[in-house]
Amino acid sequence: MGGSGKKSSFNSDLNLKLDFGIRDNKTTLRRIDEDNNQISAGSKQYTLNFSADYMLSQSLQFRAYFNWTSSNPYVSSQYPNATTNGGFTLRFNLAQ
């Protein structure tokens, strides 16, 4: 009647990670003899990184990610740019 089979329960958590950053870099040329300050290089940069991890089973992990970076320069000789990438990975672990 009652089976002596082994029951195994598996619990997994969804792990979410969100990072946001702002960086402001400026290079200023200053002349001591004149009251003239001029920005020669630099930019304001924004970054956003998101990832989600989930264990589908004891040996299979799913991960999704999204990364975005934007740069706004202070000098007119440089162009603003933005980079976006994202995707997912499946990781199979052979070790117990």
pLDDT of residue 32: 81
pTM of the model: 0.72
Kindly state the average pLDDT of the residues 72-93.
93
Q: What is the pLDDT of residues 15-73, one digit of tens each?
A: 999 999 999 999 888 888 888 888 888 899 999 999 999 998 888 999 999 999 999 99
Please, which pLDDT band fits residue 77 given cuts at 50, 70 and 90?
confident
Give the angle subtended at the CA of 79 by the CAs of 74 and 84, to the nearest 5°.
110
Structure tokens at 29: 């040329």
Distance CA 30, CA 85 (A): 39
Please choose, from the candidates 81, 76, 14, the residue with its C-alpha nearest in 3D space to the C-alpha of residue 51: 14
Retrieve residue 39's tokens.
């920005």
Residue 71: what pLDDT?
Answer: 95
Please name every residue paired with 44 in a beta bridge, in sequence order, or none if there are none. 24, 72
With H, G, I as helix, E, B as strand and everything else as coil, classify residue 56.
Answer: coil
88 contacts 51 by C-beta, under 8 angstroms: no
pLDDT at 11: 78
